[in-house]
Amino acid sequence: DQQVKQNSPSLSVQEGRISILNCDYTNSMFDYFLWYKKYPAEGPTFLISISSIKDKNEDGRFTVFLNKSAKHLSLHIVPSQPGDSAVYFCAASAETGNQFYFGTGTSLTVIP
């Protein structure tokens, strides 16, 4: 049972435009969410996180939005750069839980 879903396996965006990666979750107990970025032959790298007490968190070109009522979060990358081309995973956890649940990833390609 996939509690965290990334329904778009891939996304292509022109350099300089906005990339929007989406993630849905089913467990209403989840209260902490993260995005990881993964290049080929490397492990995932932490990108940005958000707690359920917020609905937005920004870090430079990266912004994560959380819509708790819709059980949906999204990652915005503005402006997109070729170096952003990677697989992006979202993950979620519950304060009372003992693990992160990861989505299946979205492969982002930024076209120069």
Partner 1 sequence: DSGVTQTPKHLITATGQRVTLRCSPRSGDLSVYWYQQSLDQGLQFLIQYYNGEERAKGNILERFSAQQFPDLHSELNLSSLELGDSALYFCASSSRGSGALQETQYFGPGTRLLVL
Residues that bind partner 1 (CB under 8 A): 2, 4, 6, 32, 36, 41-46, 49, 89, 91, 93, 95, 97-105
* Nearest CA-CA partner of 92 in 45, 46, 50: 50
Q: Which two tokens stand for residue 60?
A: 């430079």
Task: Pick between residue 1 and residue 70 the one whose CB is nearest to partner 1.
Answer: 1
Q: How far is the CB of 92 from partner 1 (least distance, A)?
A: 11
Q: From residue 73, how far is each of 40, 77, 88 by CA, in Å? A: 24, 13, 13
Q: How far is the CB of 100 from partner 1 (least distance, A)?
A: 6
CA–CA dist 37, 23 (Å, integer): 14
Q: How far is the CB of 89 from partner 1 (least distance, A)?
A: 6
Task: Pick between residue 35 and residue 80 the one whose CB is nearest to partner 1.
Answer: 35
